[in-house]
Amino acid sequence: VTNWFLNRLDPALAGDLLEERQRRSALWFWRQMLHGMLAAAGSNARRRSRDVCATVAGWALQFWAAVTILKLHLAPSSHGLLWRLGACAAVLLAAGVYGLVLGLLRGFCKYAATQAWRTTLSIAANAFFVNLLVCLSFVLLAEFSFTGLLLAEVYWLSSDLIRVLLARDPRSMC
């Protein structure tokens, strides 16, 4: 656990924390670790503001699509084969749009800096497949409630933002 946290920090800062750990308490160490992560996140939010905006924009679009699908799913209409096919098509479309938006906003703005088109493609593909799986689970689980959806979405947004804000190398964000 300690290593996972230390690896999220600047290597020099992580080294300093380990050096000081010998003469300080465990409470001091973890307080400093938390502080270091918050400071790194603050500084990354400033430097990677485009990535943060892209993540939130992609998430908002995907959230809107997911809520729309859930509303369709909860409608008193039949849950027959045709409905399921339609829902799956909608899910594919939402996942495609999400992947495209994330790919365009996050991947291509990074492409300008890294000139790595493979990174851009992998970001878009990753967003597409993860979103596809989550949305399909909404459709397949008939009992999925709005609260469940909201919790999943909040978790997803937080994990995306944490990835953006705490990744040391911007090319490894996805």
Partner 1 sequence: MARRGYLGEFELMVLLAVLRLGDDAYGVPIGREIEQRCGREAALGSVYAALERLEEKGFVTATLGESTAQRGGRAKRYFRITPPGLRAVRDTQRALTKLWTGVPQLQGGRA
Give the interface with partner 1 as residue ranges (CB under 8 A): 6, 9-20, 22, 31-32, 35-40, 42-43
Tokens matching residue 167: 């990744």
CA distances to 38, 41, 57, 100 from 164, in Å: 13, 9, 14, 18
Which residues make Cβ contacts (< 8 Å) with residue 165, sequence separation at least 6? 40, 41, 44, 45, 48, 52
CB of 168 to partner 1, least distance (A): 12
Q: Which is nearer to partner 1, 27 or 142 (CB)?
A: 27
Residue 137 has a CB neighbour count (10 Å cut-off) of 12
Q: How far is the CB of 51 from partner 1 (least distance, A)?
A: 18
Q: How many CA atoms lie within 13 A of 149 on its CB side?
A: 25
80 φ/ψ angles, rounded to the nearest 5 degrees:
-75, -175
**Which of residues 31 and 71 has its CB atom nearest to partner 1 in the complex?**
31
**Minimum distance, C-beta of residue 50 to partner 1, in the bound complex (Å):** 17
Q: Closer to partner 1 by CB, 28 or 117: give it.
A: 28
17 versus 134: smaller Cβ distance to partner 1: 17
Q: Minimum CB separation from partner 1 for residue 170, in Å?
A: 15
Residue 19 C-beta: closest distance to partner 1, Å: 5
* Closer residue to partner 1, CB minimum distance, 26 or 142: 26
> How far from chain centre, in Å, is Cα 133?
14
79: Cβ contacts below 8 Å, ≥ 6 apart: 73, 142
